[in-house]
């Protein structure tokens, strides 16, 4: 189940664990990505917490957790080549996986169609 | 507030620009290739920037030199015809109200001032110009910057004769039938030109220049990363009313005759720093570990604040983060290690000499 936040994160829930990334639109808006900070596995976070940072040439952008829970896995391989983070690969470029404490938090989030409508 | 558009607004959109508000203008921050690619194209070949948002102010009259000397530390009278000087408007404490270019062409003085300070500067001039001086705001003219090592060849291919025309000179030229006023100057650290022309000819000239395969378009994003690497100050960051030219490393902009006479605004404070050395000084900063350090970050050693960052981001030519900032005078030696405080973290930065990327001006 794929859901989006108003801050352009996506979460793809599989069972009780969701992979989290940022949308193609967000990657395009960032421009050249020059530094990424990811969270540490084992961290417990609340929905809306700043959990990662994307730095472009011009600015630093916070990435917020779309759900509450425990971060179980972090995609450190992403940091090897930041130029691989492109809009067309947005859904392969997951940042971390989170064991979601309350799947009900996702109910109020946007599906693909609602998110597409928001950004156009 | 409604943003203003340069004569190239539609041209930018047609060329895939992302427009942003800047200093009251709608300006291209980047085109489709992005800031890094535009930056590197400028260093490797040549790029065209629309800088029509900067104000072109011309002064005529027998008292123009004297009037401008009341406001700046420049020996205006010594600027020969066809020459350009970097200067600044100073306040009575020696703070910098704005920086500007002063050129003399055909007897008149031609000034270019920052877009964000244009209203201030024009009011400042109007309030202080005395005697036989006429000021004209040339908003009927556009300004393009062609920057990079291939810039001279691109102009030569359009029939421009650059023999004897070097860094910080100004002259009349004809390009594609358009009467242009060109200075060999810029804000990138590269060889290059700033081309002033009638506003209604700007699109024609931009299209003609971009038709050259060595020339691509670059936006304000690349302009900022280029000037950062070149160590060139931006008003509001490395310069403002609280910073004097010596602190900002701009001793060269204080003319010898004016220093000896100490007859410019803020001369007492500025000459004290000139003689004794300033308490803080502008330096380059190279953050370690890949994380950019940005404007406003504090610099510290062992818990003591020793300076702050004024501009920072990513330097494409260094393929690493870079910044400018002020540090205590004892810490200005290249290689000095300081910590920048970024989001509660300590990021180690090394002090570096300016410019971070060598200037490549072509001097006569």
Which ipTM value was assigned to this complex?
0.89
Question: Which chain A residue is nearest to residue B321, measuring alpha carbons?
Answer: A34
Let me know whether B221 and B332 are in one domain. no
The answer to whether B233 touches B282, Cβ cutoff 8 Å, is: yes
Residue B358 lies in a domain: no
Residues B229 and B274 in one domain: no
Q: Is residue B243 part of a domain?
A: no
The parent domain of residue B269 ranges over 251-352
A-B contacts at Cβ under 8 angstroms: 39
pLDDT at B1 over 90: no
**B71 and B200, same domain (yes or no):** yes
Is residue B239 situated within a structural domain? no
pLDDT of B138 strictly over 70: yes
Query: Is B271 found in the same domain as B219?
Result: no
Predicted pLDDT at B364: 85
In whole numbers, what is the pLDDT of chain B averaged over residues? 97
A58 with B343: Cβ contact below 8 A: no
Of residues B29, B34, B291, nearest to A32 (C-beta): B34
A34 to B321: CB separation less than 8 angstroms, yes or no: yes
Chain A nearest-CA distance from B313, in A, is: 6
Dihedral over Cα of B330, B332, B334, B338: its sign = positive
Given this model, what pLDDT does residue B316 score?
Answer: 98
DSSP string, B225-236: HHHHHTT---BT
Q: Is the pLDDT of residue B280 over 70?
A: yes
User: How many domains would you assign to chain B?
Assistant: 2
Q: What is the mean pLDDT of residues A77-98?
A: 96
Which of B206, B233, B260 finishes a domain? Answer: B233
Mind listing the pLDDT tens digit for each residue in B175-216? 999 999 999 999 999 999 999 999 999 999 999 999 999 999
Q: With an 8 Å Cβ cutoff, are A55 and B314 in contact?
A: yes
- What CATH number has the domain bearing residue B16? 3.30.1360.120
Let me know: does B202 contact B6? Beta carbons within 8 Å.
yes
Residue range A2-100, CATH number: 2.40.50.100
Residue B362 lies in a domain: no
Is residue B20 domain-shared with residue B141, that is, in the same domain? yes
Cα separation, B38 vs A32, whole angstroms: 11
Shared-domain flag, residues B185 and B288: no
> Is residue B221 domain-resident?
yes
Q: First and final CA of chain B: distance in angstroms?
A: 45
By CB atoms closer than 10 A (0-12, 13-18, 19+), residue B256 is: exposed
Q: What is the pLDDT of residue B344?
A: 85
Q: Is residue B92 located within the same domain as residue B19?
A: yes
pLDDT score at B216: 98
Q: Would you say residue B173 has pLDDT above 70?
A: yes
Residue B214: left (phi > 0), alpha (psi -120 to 50), or beta?
A: alpha
What is residue B107's predicted lDDT score, i.e. its pLDDT? 86
Distance from C-alpha of B335 to C-alpha of A32, rounded to nearest angstrom: 28
Same domain membership, residue B187 and residue B287: no
Do residue B271 and residue B129 come from a single domain? no
pLDDT over 90 (residue B5): yes
What are the tens digits of pLDDT across the range B20-74? 999 999 999 999 999 999 999 999 999 999 999 999 999 999 999 999 999 999 9
Taking residues B145-166, report their average pLDDT. 98
Residues on chain B touching A32 (C-beta within 8 angstroms): 34-36, 314
Contacts of B35 in chain A (CB under 8 A): 31-32, 57-58
Residue B35 has its nearest CB partner, among A31, A53, A55, at A31
CATH number of domain containing B330 = 2.40.30.110
pLDDT tens-digit map of A20-71: 999 999 999 999 999 999 999 999 999 999 999 999 998 999 999 999 999 9
Mutate to test the interface with B, among A32, A50, A59, A63 (most CBs of B within 10 A): A32
Give me the pLDDT at residue B11, please.
98
Asked if residue B244 is part of any domain, the answer here is: no
Q: Give chain B's contact residues with A (Cβ, < 8 Å).
A: 29-30, 34-36, 221, 224-225, 290-292, 294, 313-314, 316, 321, 343
**Residues of chain B neighbouring A58 (CB-CB closer than 8 A):** 29, 35, 221, 224, 313
Looking at beta carbons, which residues of chain B come within 8 Å of A39? none
Q: Could you tell me if residue B48 is inside a domain?
A: yes
Residue B221 and residue A57: Cβ atoms within 8 Å?
Answer: yes
- Cβ atoms of A12 and A31 within 8 Å: the answer is no
B359 in a domain, yes or no?
no
Give the distance from residue A87's alpha carbon to the nearest chain B alpha carbon, in angstroms. Answer: 14
- Minimal Cα distance from A34: which residue of B? B314
Domain ranges of chain A: 2-100
Same structural domain, B211 and B334: no
Tell me how long chain A is: 120
C-alpha–C-alpha distance, residues B242 and B95, integer Å: 5
């Amino acid at each position: 189940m794929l859901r989006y936040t108003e801050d352009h994160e996506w979460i793809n829930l599989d069972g009780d664990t969701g992979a989290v990334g940022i949308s193609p639109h967000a990657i395009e808006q960032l421009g050249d990505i020059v530094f990424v900070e990811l969270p540490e596995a084992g961290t417990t976070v609340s929905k809306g917490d700043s959990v990662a940072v994307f730095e472009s040439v011009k600015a630093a952008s916070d990435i917020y957790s779309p759900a509450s829970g425990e971060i179980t896995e972090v995609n450190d391989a992403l940091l090897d080549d930041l130029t691989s983070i492109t809009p067309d690969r947005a859904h392969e470029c997951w940042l971390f996986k989170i064991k979601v404490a309350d799947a009900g938090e996702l109910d109020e989030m946007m599906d693909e169609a609602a998110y597409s409508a928001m950004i156009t | 507030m409604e943003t203003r558009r340069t004569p190239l607004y539609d041209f930018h959109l047609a060329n895939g620009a992302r427009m942003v508000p800047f200093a009251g203008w709608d300006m291209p921050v980047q085109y489709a290739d992005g800031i890094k690619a535009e930056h590197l194209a400028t260093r490797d070949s040549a790029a065209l920037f629309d800088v029509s948002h900067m104000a072109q102010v011309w002064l005529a009259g027998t008292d123009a030199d004297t009037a401008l000397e009341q406001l700046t530390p420049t020996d205006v009278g010594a600027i020969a015809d066809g020459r350009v000087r970097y200067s600044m408007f100073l306040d009575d404490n020696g703070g910098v109200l704005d920086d500007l270019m002063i050129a003399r062409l055909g007897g008149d003085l031609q000034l270019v001032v920052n877009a964000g300070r244009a209203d201030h500067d024009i009011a400042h001039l109007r309030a202080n110009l005395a005697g036989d001086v006429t000021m004209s705001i040339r908003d009927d003219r556009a300004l393009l910057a062609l920057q990079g090592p291939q810039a001279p060849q691109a102009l030569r291919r359009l029939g421009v004769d650059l023999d004897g025309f070097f860094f910080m000179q100004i002259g009349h030229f004809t390009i594609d039938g358009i009467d242009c006023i060109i200075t060999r100057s810029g804000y990138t650290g590269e060889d290059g030109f700033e081309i002033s022309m009638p506003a209604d000819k700007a699109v024609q000239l931009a299209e003609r220049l971009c038709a050259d395969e060595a020339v691509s378009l670059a936006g304000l994003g690349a302009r900022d990363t280029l000037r950062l690497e070149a160590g060139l100050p931006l008003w509001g960051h490395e310069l403002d009313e609280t910073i004097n030219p010596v602190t900002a490393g701009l001793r060269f902009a204080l003319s010898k005759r004016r220093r000896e006479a100490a007859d410019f605004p803020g001369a007492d404070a500025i000459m004290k720093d000139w003689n004794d050395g300033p308490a803080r000084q502008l330096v380059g900063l190279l953050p370690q570990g890949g994380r950019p350090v940005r404007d406003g970050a504090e610099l510290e050693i062992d818990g003591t604040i020793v300076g702050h960052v004024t501009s920072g981001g990513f330097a494409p030519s260094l393929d690493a983060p870079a910044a400018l900032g002020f540090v205590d005078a004892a810490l200005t030696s290249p290689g000095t290690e300081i910590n920048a405080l970024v989001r509660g973290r300590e990021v180690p930065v090394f002090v570096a000499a300016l410019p971070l990327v060598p200037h490549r001006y072509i001097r006569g």
